[in-house]
Amino acid sequence: MKRFAQLYTALDSSNRSRDKHQAIVDYFKQAPAEDAAWCVYFLLGNRLGRLVSGRALRELVAELTQLPEWLVEASYAQVGDLAETLALLMEGVEATLERQLPSLRQLVAQLKSELGTKDVSRAGSLLSSLWAASDNSERLVLNKLLTGGLRVGVSRATVVKALAEVAQVEPAVMAHRLMGGFEPTAENFKRLFIEASQADALARPYPFCLAYPVDEAEPLETTLGALENWQVEWKWDGIRAQLLYREADPLLWSRGEELVGDAFPEIVESARILPKGIVLDGEIVAWDEQAGRPLPFGALQRRIGRKRVSKALLGEVPVRFVAYDLLESESEDRRGETTLVRRRRLEVIFAKLGMDSKLGLSPVVESNDWQALRELRAESRARAVEGFMLKHKQASYRVGRVRGDWWKWKIEPYTLDAVLVNAVQGHGRRAGLYTDYTFALRDGEEGWVPFAKAYSGLTDAEIRQVDTWIRRHTLERHGPVRIVEPTLVFEIAFEGIAESKRHKCGLAVRFPRIHRWRQDKSAREADDLSALQRLHRLAGQS
């Protein structure tokens, strides 16, 4: 358990991906398979669920530390995280040196077996014993397990890459081995490290070719030259993916090297009409089959990350794979061929398929000149796309972001001026600072209605300024949330708007972020709810 607690501390205290990667690698090189299996399980986002009620835990800690219960409650209200609160309150409790926590596997087994009895006195005895055998870092992790709140700040891709390094295989191979969920047993952990096989090779996607954003500081006629040298396509608002159909079953890989076929089973099934030995690059989009156009990204979000998709959801949010490049055909790597040649091959393949509602070919956009293309780009929102992709006709399909081959020419985001109404402290590097903000629009003369949360867009200096202001202008506290005077105005940028029953304003915005702090504006000059509703109506008409 000590080794796992040290890993958790290292991951929680660092914001550098390289350091997190190395900490995970070091752990798996040393940990026994029985413990490492549970570590994989937790790092992939799985949790045990709440094993003891929060109230029971607070009462036990109050008894152990001889602190009054009101002080424990007040501390919880200030910190906001129960596991962290309890660990902080117990910092003065010395660990019993002659005792140690059991291994991670043994600890999980003990917690699951003995805390399922609902016997509070038995739970108190067990937890007092475990806390007495723990140091401060171990107590925090133990408390996270007990409350069901163990979230480790690493992405699945980071975990996959670290395991791949230990196993000396490519990340895509490891992602394939983890497909379908991971049961935390020593046997399953050891299977991750078997020698690479032909099946691993056939399951591996290609590295993605990425695009640079267009800089419109200079005219495109100057920076990119003649339009006739470029293949122009719509930029779809979905999930970038590769669809593989080699010798075995079709596989659907996201750009983050995650297998997403469980969330989009109809695309995987439709892929069987493709000729074998093929790899397509494209976009998964929510698709209105009757209108023949994309649905908003908000609809697609209902499908993302699911391991099972109900029949109802399949019907409510139909999806399509829009193919726009050919990476492999007839089991031959086509990436070295030019964009024009790959496109011709792709068109021939799709011409033979006939109509299929789940597989489509991204159309090439024809235009006489750059100015005509600018005018067509203005229709992007009307077409439910994000702008254009510009691909040099003589470019090969290269790895990563190569300047000059592919460009993304996106439309400008929506923006509204909103008022900061509440804030919560951040985590990791931002711990102790109020960095997670809720913004509201005016609703009538007096009221404010929240419409977006945003966490990014301010400089470190601005964050410190806002944090100081929040502490001085707090009106109320509700647990970790500070309600503040509605006076600071920020310009909030976002990509899309959709109806939402979960949001008080009735609308949800996609990817909100702080565009700039409007210190030149007062709250009376901020936008009201009707401005957001007007943008939504315009988006619906387009």
The length of the chain is: 542
Which of 6-20, 313-327, 330-344 is least confident? 6-20
Confidence label for 483 from pLDDT (cuts 50, 70 and 90): very high
Cα 174 to Cα 187: distance, rounded to the nearest angstrom:
16
Tokens 């990509």 correspond to 495
Contact 107, 146 (CB under 8 A): no
Confidence label for 121 from pLDDT (cuts 50, 70 and 90): low
| DSSP line for 428-439 | GGGBTSEEEEEE
β-bridge pairing 239-245 and 414-425: unpaired
**Residue 278: predicted pLDDT:** 97
3-state DSSP assignment of residue 232 = strand
Report the interhelical angle of 33-43 vs 104-114 (nearest 10°): 70
Cα 194 to Cα 179: distance, rounded to the nearest angstrom:
15
Confidence label for 445 from pLDDT (cuts 50, 70 and 90): low
R_g over Cα of the chain: 27
pLDDT at 487 over 60: yes
Confidence label for 116 from pLDDT (cuts 50, 70 and 90): low
Beta bridge partners of 476: 483
**Residue 115: predicted pLDDT:** 76
Q: What angle is formed at CA 50 by the lines to CA 49 and CA 56, rounded to 5 degrees?
A: 170
DSSP structural state of residue 327: E
pLDDT at 122 over 70: no
Q: Percentage of the chain with pLDDT > 70?
A: 94
Which of 180-184, 229-233, 300-304, 358-362 is least confident? 180-184
Q: What angle is formed at CA 457 by the lines to CA 455 and CA 462, rounded to 5 degrees?
A: 95
Beta bridge partners of 494: 414
Which of 154-158, 314-318, 364-368 is least confident? 154-158
Q: Which two tokens stand for residue 283?
A: 């976009």
Cα 142 to Cα 165: distance, rounded to the nearest angstrom:
28
Which of 4-13, 74-83, 319-328 is least confident? 74-83
Q: What is the mean pLDDT of the chain?
A: 87
pLDDT at 59 over 60: yes
| DSSP line for 115-170 | GGG--HHHHHHHHHHHHHT--HHHHHHHHHHHHT----S--HHHHHHHHHHHHTS-
**Residue 399: predicted pLDDT:** 83
Q: What angle is formed at CA 321 by the lines to CA 155 and CA 366, rounded to 5 degrees?
A: 115
Largest Cα separation within the chain, whole Å, is 81
Q: Percentage of the chain with pLDDT > 90?
A: 42
Average pLDDT score over residue span 91-114: 76
